[in-house]
């Protein structure tokens, strides 16, 4: 819902190379290639690649390939300044596969480069599901003792499990950012806000999004 390209831009310099792994619906690749950066994008599914290609113009020079996040050997070691992993870690179910994905990303990232990861919060899902279903706490698809959501289309992480996963992969965390938080619950209200109010709301969101109690 909110634009976090500014976090990436903090670490970008002229001439930097970006790898977008599991490019998905493309929230970032086209933006950065149109800003003049050299961008490579990798995606697994034919349908998503086809949808991505429909967005491209003749001026968009992007290296878009089909591939698996567990094998990035097509790319030279230490060849990218920025690596985006906005998707793989909430699709991979096996812990060893998650670590393999992190390891592959580290291999192609330059020394001093930055890797960006995304997770879906196990614990915030309960709020959004309850908003749609008053019986969710009895009928929801989760372990009723541990409150661990069952993985179906997505794999969910607690803050602690996400931190452990990255620590086990040798990742030094610089930022922890709440992407949407509880904003899905407020979506209808956004349409009622004036531009001035919404602008101030966004300022508040970015004010709290790195606070530890919000992550």
pLDDT in tens, 121-144: 999 899 889 989 999 999 999 999
| 62 found inside a domain | yes
For 16, the domain range is 5-119+157-175
| 81 found inside a domain | yes
Q: How confident is the model at residue 215, as a pLDDT?
A: 55
pLDDT in tens, 144-154: 999 999 988 89
pLDDT tier for residue 95 given thresholds of 50, 70 and 90: very high
Cα within 13 Å of Cα(128), Cβ side: 14
CATH code, 32: 3.40.50.150
pLDDT in tens, 24-52: 766 789 999 999 999 999 998 888 888 88
Number of helices (H), then strands (E), in the chain: 9, 5
Continuous segment of H or E residues that includes residue 122: helix 122-132
* 179 secondary structure, DSSP code: S
Q: How confident is the model at residue 26, as a pLDDT?
A: 66
CA angle 90, 96, 100 (to 5 degrees): 80
Question: How many domains, the chain?
Answer: 1
| 205 found inside a domain | no
| 96 found inside a domain | yes
| 91 found inside a domain | yes
Continuous segment of H or E residues that includes residue 159: helix 159-168
Q: Does the pLDDT of residue 2 top 60, yes or no?
A: no
| 210 found inside a domain | no
Q: Does the pLDDT of residue 4 top 80, yes or no?
A: no
Q: How many CB atoms lie within 10 A of CB 174?
A: 11
| 113 found inside a domain | yes
Q: Which residue has the higher pLDDT, 95 or 188?
A: 95
Highest mean pLDDT pick, 37-51, 105-119, 198-212: 105-119
On the 0-12 / 13-18 / 19+ scale of CB atoms within 10 A, 111 is exposed
Q: Does the pLDDT of residue 22 top 50, yes or no?
A: yes
Q: How confident is the model at residue 190, as a pLDDT?
A: 86
What number is the average pLDDT over the span 73-101?
96
Tell me what percent of the residues of the chain surpass a pLDDT of 90. Answer: 64
* E strands in the chain: 17-21, 38-43, 62-66, 80-85, 109-117
Q: How confident is the model at residue 37, as a pLDDT?
A: 95
């Amino acid at each position: 819902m909110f634009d976090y390209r500014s976090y990436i831009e903090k670490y970008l310099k002229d001439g930097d190379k970006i790898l977008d792994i599991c490019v998905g619906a493309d929230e970032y690749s086209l933006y950065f290639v149109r800003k003049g950066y050299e961008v490579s994008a990798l995606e697994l599914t034919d349908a998503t690649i086809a949808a991505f290609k429909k967005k491209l113009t003749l001026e968009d020079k992007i290296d878009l390939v089909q591939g698996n996040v567990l094998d990035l050997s097509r790319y030279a070691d230490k060849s990218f300044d920025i690596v985006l992993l906005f998707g793989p870690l909430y699709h991979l179910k096996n812990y060893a596969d998650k670590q393999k994905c992190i390891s592959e990303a580290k291999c192609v990232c330059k020394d001093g480069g930055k890797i960006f990861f995304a997770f879906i919060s196990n614990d915030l899902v309960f709020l959004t599901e309850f908003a749609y279903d008053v019986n969710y706490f009895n009928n929801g698809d989760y372990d009723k003792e541990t409150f661990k959501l069952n993985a179906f289309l997505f794999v969910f992480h607690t803050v602690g499990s996400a931190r452990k996963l990255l620590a086990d992969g040798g990742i030094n965390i610089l930022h922890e950012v709440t992407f949407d938080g509880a904003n899905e619950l407020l979506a209808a209200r956004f349409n009622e806000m004036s531009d001035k109010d919404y602008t101030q709301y966004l300022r508040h969101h970015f004010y709290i999004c790195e606070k530890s109690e919000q992550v």
